[in-house]
Structure 1
Amino acid sequence: MKTTNLVVSILALCVLSISYGQRKKKNPVQIQKETISQTPKLVVGIVVDQMRYDYLTRFWNQYGEGGFKRMVNEGFNCKNNHYNYAPTSTGPGHASVYTGTTPATHGIIGNNWYDKALGKDVYCAGDDNFTSIGTTSDAGQMSPNRMLTTTITDQLRLHTQKRGKVIGVALKDRGAVLPAGHAANAAYWFEGGEMGNWITSSYYMNKLPQWVTDFNASNVVESYKKTWNTLKPIETYVESGLDINNYEGILKGAENNAFPHDLPAIWEENMGFDILKATPYGNSITTDFALAALEGEDLGADTITDFLAISFSSTDYVGHFFGVNSKEVEDTYIRLDQDLARIFTALDEKVGKGEYTVFLTADHAAVNVPSYLMDSKIPAGYLDIKDMEAKFDEFLQYKYGTTDVVKDLSNYQLFLDHKILTNLDIDIKEAQKDMAMELLSYEGIGRVYTGYQMWENEYTEGIPYILQNGYNPKRSGDVLLVPNTGYISYSRTGSTHGSAQIYDTHVPLLLFGKGIKQGSTVNRTEIPDIAPTIASLLGIAFPNGTTGEPIGEVLEFKSITVD
């Protein structure tokens, strides 16, 4: 009986083993492995100079399906994206997008600033150690030498052992040089005047590549020497003010500021090809050249990621001259939308749909024209700088017996002469405080902070937080001025920027393409978050001064199945 039971048990085990083996064979164990990076063939970074976030929504019905709308519909929209420092200007903006940090760390504290060590004003991208390439003028004497940290483009070059190409393109030299970084293959910018050519610096090369020479020799730029009229019927431009008004500048030689703008008729008075910068044609020229770079440099042709950094500068020129509420700004963005569609179509064809990643943001936004706001019964105004300077000189003479204790005033920052103050046996901290209190009493000044306040405190919110992120101890001034909301130091026509106020900090951030989710967020994101987000996508090191955080909800790392 026991033997029979043993045989039955053995047979049962054999059957179970066979059945298990059959099930295992039919249903293999599948393991889900998540990829840790994406490898787009090409990353395209787009910075639109002076783009407010509400240009995206305000002109939405004027846009086609292939530009801004494609980015929103196929990609991710960060609706509450801000600059977290001041001054909000072009040089610091481009540097911050690409370094993942603020002027406090990367050192680009303005387009120009007073260099305390050299005792003179310096330009953010200027470098007379190099010569111009493509022109006999000094317009090419540029490099990223004043930027103290690496960029996301630098990190890509290092990660790929310099096999990944990096090219920067912009009408403005600083809009090309700073994003391209220290280790770029090339950065190109536009020289207007009589030539209308794209140039570069000997920092990158000794002569222009053949494709650039061919582009300059072509008739592409000359083809834009034509009248600027609205792309669509002007009566459909209902998201902007009257065509003729008192809030816009008038081009030299023109009778008024109304459409159409006869550019050939006023060509010479406006420095030839320079006039194109202040029209949407400047953005189209930039697009033409960027597409030539895509082809000429064979970007995105293999599996090693390349990077094309494009900055559209004409939006800034148009905004400064005509103002936030002008029909010129509306037309410029309608045309920019078409240029974006051209770029995305070319990327689809050359690189492949789904094989590239794009982000779009701005280097700053802009205030509405204060004179328009005042006429609309909205608090705003203009700083009388000459009157302030005269009053402040009287204060300095009375308080210290000399005006020499102040070296410079720029970017709303006062630079003091520490040697003179020390020789007068005046405490620097007390001098800063006394001058701050004096300036706070002036009309149009809302707040004043001292360098010692930036040193001694750690601000986490509000205006002082924004100022502190822009404060570099070795480069910034001793007293920091904050104008009242809506107040600017500028002409009574056109818009400007630079402040810590929300109308200058709120800018778009759109991402789409490989590794990007579809969706949106109203959670606050900040400009220094862009570079670490792209670095996380690519699986490369963050720029070495990064203070931003990756925007995790933007990224998509697809899982793969392994048997």
Structure 2
Amino acid sequence: MNKLLRHSIIAIVALIATCGTATAQQKPRLVINIVVGTMRGDDLERFESNFTEGGFKRLINGGRYFNNAYYKFAHCTAATTLATLSSGAQPADHGVVGSHWWSYADGSYTSLIEDNKSYPIPFSTGTGNYSAKRLVAPTMGDMLLMKSPESKQYTIAIDPQSAIVMNGKAGVPLWAETNKTYWTTATSFTETIPEWIKRYNSDDTNSDYALSRWTPLYKAAMYKNSEVAVMEGISNKATKLLSDVNLNLDESKYGAMCYTPAGNTMLLKFAERLIAEESLGIDDNTDILNICLDSARYIAETYGPESMEYEDMLYRLDRDINEFLTHIYGSGDTQNIVVTLTAAHGTSPSYNPVDGKEHERFNTRQMEVMVNAYVCAHHGSSDYLLGFANNAIYLNHKAIYENKLSVEQIRDEVAIFLLQMRGVSTARSATALRNSAFTEGRAALMQRGFYAARSGDVLIDLAPGWIIESSDYRSSATSGYIYDRHVPIVIYGGGMESATIEERVDPAALATTICELIDIDTPWSSEGVTLP
């Protein structure tokens, strides 16, 4: 072989190797994380027969589908799980134990996002004094903008808490204000909103997606849940309006959008516009768009997962997803855009389904009175409780110290007393959770959800099927049982091989996996485990 030919071959091999490396290292330009407010882990399979080919089925068949994903902690609420999805950490590390908690420092009821030093941006006719200052752990969006300041992150949701927790401190969360559903944010994130959003609001664009009547998308016989499509005191037949008490009482547009599938539609349509107007994914600086579909949670809580309303919401969301995917993948190239789909949590069975088989309800106010009376009977009269939140009793440490008592002793006594109450499955003191290392079972679930500075003094778990009594909802996600912890996960695009993964996985690993895909450091509090 002559010298010139040998050099030519070496050059060609080097070029191929370089091209191969470039392809292997090519990272997506846009990551879109879709988080359904409530979706049980088997919903995508249970209702598959009525889904379109281009919606959920497109994601499942063309993406990497994890059908055995379970959160690894108890008390799976929207706040705790969204913080896990965004940070890749458990509540014990990211510090979000709920939307509110009692402060041991001053006895105040503290909000996760409220901040009187942050002000609503114009176009907010509702409240907007919110910030991310109480978020402890950085999110994947925070890590992205730390490494690549030219990148962008937006998070959109109806609920400001969803937007802020999923977003983190960097980037811009946007939420629907509580009167006209105008898109807004707060001064802690940006001083103004773009002109195109101002026009979007002025044109009242969200109203285009409102349902004048919510009637079933399909014939009643096609619904698996059609036999239970009844709200308390309202007969909802397939030919009549599927009505919600909140819709009839709420004079603003907010209720009409939140408690119907229209809320999901307006989010995804706004996402399409945002991608175009903000030029997301058009350069080599990867961008992130988080979409939190809160209406799914509101509908599940209001009607229950056995209702036709909940099922119909999923079918309409499937069509919305179909249109959204068609819009963003117009060219057919799925390499540059990654779409992930998961859920904040599942949900409990309805505590008052129309079949008459009521599930049990736990009255927390009665429990507070009984616990305080019990402590008073043994140690003298005082207000020993701050209150109940996040499935936990918060004790009044000041009152305990004033009576020269031990907080640890009162915790243990209250835990033992609570175990005698009907409906309480488990009660553990903060002392036990701090001083022990649980590796499996319900104790481990509770411990992973325990953050000492914010969690209560005595944490409880209700018996299976029990939920906290409330006039506001029929179903909730506050437990550590599988109906709350089991959610689907799908990763579509970005060169991910399509497959159905049966292995049990933790949704916390989704954030780490995304960070690996876009070549950034994983959030500092994450466990660093990626999805298989």
Task: Specify the alignment match of 2:409 in structure 1.
Answer: 430
1:290 equivalent among 271, 281, 288: 271
Task: Specify the alignment match of 2:81 in structure 1.
Answer: 93
Identity %: 26
**C-alpha displacement of 1:221:** 2.1
CA contact (8 A) 2:126 2:178 kept: no
Bigger drift between 110-119 and 406-415 goes to 110-119
**C-alpha displacement of 1:350:** 7.3
Task: Specify the alignment match of 2:156 in structure 1.
Answer: 169
1:372 partner SS? coil
1:526 partner SS? coil
What amino acid sits opposite 1:484 in the alignment? A
**C-alpha displacement of 1:140:** 1.6
1:313 equivalent among 270, 291, 294: 294
1:190 equivalent among 156, 162, 176: 176
Task: Specify the alignment match of 1:408 in structure 2.
Answer: 387
Residues 460 and 227 from structure 1, CA distance in 2 versus in 1: closer, same or farther, beyond 3 angstroms?
Answer: same
**C-alpha displacement of 1:514:** 0.6
Q: Deviations over 1:166-208 (max 9, x none)?
A: 0110111111112222111x21111243x23111111222222
Aligned equivalents of 1:236 and 1:45: distance in 2? Answer: 30
What does 1:508-547 correspond to in 2, within 5 Å?
A: 508-547=488-527
1:494 partner SS? coil
Residues 98 and 241 from structure 1, CA distance in 2 versus in 1: closer, same or farther, beyond 3 angstroms?
Answer: same
What does 1:332-371 correspond to in 2, within 5 Å?
A: 332-349=313-330, 352-371=333-352
Residues 373 and 468 from structure 1, CA distance in 2 versus in 1: closer, same or farther, beyond 3 angstroms?
Answer: farther
**C-alpha displacement of 1:62:** 0.9
Q: Deviations over 1:262-288 (max 9, x none)?
A: 779996622321222000011101111
Residues 548 and 126 from structure 1, CA distance in 2 versus in 1: closer, same or farther, beyond 3 angstroms?
Answer: farther
Task: Specify the alignment match of 2:194 in structure 1.
Answer: 209
1:234 aligned onto 2:213: no
2:298 partner SS? helix
What amino acid sits opposite 2:469 in the alignment? Y
1:76 equivalent among 38, 50, 64: 64
Residues 46 and 106 from structure 1, CA distance in 2 versus in 1: closer, same or farther, beyond 3 angstroms?
Answer: same
**C-alpha displacement of 1:417:** 2.3
Flag structure 1 segments of 5+ consecutive residues without an equivalent: 1-17, 554-563
TM-score by length of 2: 0.92
What amino acid sits opposite 2:153 in the alignment? V
Residues 268 and 50 from structure 1, CA distance in 2 versus in 1: closer, same or farther, beyond 3 angstroms?
Answer: closer
Task: Specify the alignment match of 1:130 in structure 2.
Answer: 118
CA RMSD in angstroms comes to 2.6
Q: Deviations over 1:492-530 (max 9, x none)?
A: 862111111111100111111013121122212112111
CA contact (8 A) 1:44 1:357 kept: yes
Task: Specify the alignment match of 1:63 in structure 2.
Answer: 51
1:286 partner SS? helix
**C-alpha displacement of 1:23:** 8.9
Aligned equivalents of 1:37 and 1:499: distance in 2? Answer: 41
Query: How many pairs align?
Result: 523
Task: Specify the alignment match of 1:556 in structure 2.
Answer: none
Aligned equivalents of 2:177 and 2:100: distance in 1? Answer: 19
Task: Specify the alignment match of 2:443 in structure 1.
Answer: 464
Aligned equivalents of 2:387 and 2:66: distance in 1? Answer: 38
What does 1:434-513 correspond to in 2, within 5 Å?
A: 434-491=413-470, 494-513=474-493
Residues 436 and 539 from structure 1, CA distance in 2 versus in 1: closer, same or farther, beyond 3 angstroms?
Answer: same
**C-alpha displacement of 1:394:** 2.3
**C-alpha displacement of 1:89:** 0.8
Q: Deviations over 1:130-150 (max 9, x none)?
A: 111134545221111111111
Task: Specify the alignment match of 2:377 in structure 1.
Answer: 398
What amino acid sits opposite 1:291 in the alignment? E
Q: Deviations over 1:363-390 (max 9, x none)?
A: 111011133399459xx41113343333
Q: Deviations over 1:441-496 (max 9, x none)?
A: 00000111111111111111121111111111111111001100111113486211
Aligned equivalents of 2:281 and 2:452: distance in 1? Answer: 41
Task: Specify the alignment match of 1:15 in structure 2.
Answer: none
Q: Deviations over 1:79-114 (max 9, x none)?
A: 111111132111111111010102211111102221
CA contact (8 A) 1:67 1:340 kept: yes
What does 1:95-174 correspond to in 2, within 5 Å?
A: 95-135=83-123, 137=125, 139-160=127-148, 162-174=149-161
CA contact (8 A) 1:42 1:351 kept: no
1:325 equivalent among 301, 306, 327: 306
Residues 501 and 265 from structure 1, CA distance in 2 versus in 1: closer, same or farther, beyond 3 angstroms?
Answer: closer
Larger Rg: 1
Residues 440 and 190 from structure 1, CA distance in 2 versus in 1: closer, same or farther, beyond 3 angstroms?
Answer: same
CA contact (8 A) 2:368 2:385 kept: no
Residues 156 and 330 from structure 1, CA distance in 2 versus in 1: closer, same or farther, beyond 3 angstroms?
Answer: same
Aligned equivalents of 2:67 and 2:384: distance in 1? Answer: 45
Task: Specify the alignment match of 1:6 in structure 2.
Answer: none
Aligned equivalents of 1:433 and 1:241: distance in 2? Answer: 47
Aligned equivalents of 2:448 and 2:303: distance in 1? Answer: 31
1:468 partner SS? helix
What amino acid sits opposite 1:445 in the alignment? V
What does 1:236-255 correspond to in 2, within 5 Å?
A: 236-237=222-223, 239-245=224-230, 248-249=231-232, 255=234
**C-alpha displacement of 1:225:** 4.9
Flag structure 2 segments of 5+ consecutive residues without an equivalent: none
Aligned equivalents of 2:115 and 2:378: distance in 1? Answer: 39
Aligned equivalents of 2:254 and 2:232: distance in 1? Answer: 16
Aligned equivalents of 1:51 and 1:524: distance in 2? Answer: 17
CA contact (8 A) 1:324 1:494 kept: no
CA contact (8 A) 1:131 1:138 kept: no
1:388 aligned onto 2:388: no
Q: Deviations over 1:238-279 (max 9, x none)?
A: x1142554xx346xxxx5344532779996622321222000
Task: Specify the alignment match of 1:181 in structure 2.
Answer: 168
Aligned equivalents of 1:181 and 1:139: distance in 2? Answer: 19
Aligned equivalents of 1:431 and 1:371: distance in 2? Answer: 35
Aligned equivalents of 1:431 and 1:118: distance in 2? Answer: 19
What amino acid sits opposite 1:549 in the alignment? V
CA contact (8 A) 2:156 2:174 kept: yes
1:40 partner SS? coil
2:142 partner SS? helix
What amino acid sits opposite 1:550 in the alignment? T
Residues 177 and 401 from structure 1, CA distance in 2 versus in 1: closer, same or farther, beyond 3 angstroms?
Answer: same
